[in-house]
A and B are shown apart, each in its own frame.
Chain A
């Protein structure tokens, strides 16, 4: 079957760094997405990785290892506004997005 695994909830301190892991199993693979979703709002795009390695975008970075079926989202210099759910989604060979359940990130002062 196809599935995405990511932690349900994580807690971090303002100003710190947090890494949210995601493992995936899909029928074929055409890339991995990370989205941020605040409560009651639609997801917003953070990153897309299709090749192995780390991609950095300001405070957010995303890593992919295709051989391990593994990705992580790294958030630096955490701010209170980063409190949200972070969704990992893998694109399979049929270009269907397989979604994880999301990781709720709680930022404490």
Chain B
């Protein structure tokens, strides 16, 4: 259980265009979704945290107008990279917190990631 489906797996886009990445929780309700970016041979970098029905909280240095996050339902969160540039090429991963029935934190489950290449 606790599966997050992320699409697309990879995308190539032209510089200046926008790309939308979707993450769906398939068998649980994802109240909180985390969006990460990972450059080659580096660790995960948290970009933003989104809670269903409210505005996302962005980490320092992440442009909220460039990386638009929508978390309109408990099963869907989207990240849109607007006016993409080659430096935005990266591996983008979403993650949701999974709670135990008793309310405690069980862990975090990740989407399969999206490899974005901007040319």
Interface residues on A, range: 10 to 19
Q: Interface SS of chain A: helix, strand, loop or mixed? A: loop
Interface residues on B, range: 20 to 34
Measured CA separation A91–B34 after assembly (Å): 14
Interface set, chain A 77-109, CB cutoff 8 A to B: 87, 91, 95-97, 99-102
Measured CA separation A42–B111 after assembly (Å): 7
Tell me the number of A-to-B contacts counted with CB atoms below 8 Å: 41
Are A45 and B113 in touch, CB under 8 angstroms?
no
Interface residues of A (CB under 8 A from B): 30-31, 33, 40-45, 48, 87, 91, 95-97, 99-102
With A41-B112, A96-B46, A102-B43 already in contact, 4 other A-B pairs whose C-beta atoms are closer than 8 Å: A43-B44, A91-B105, A97-B108, A99-B46
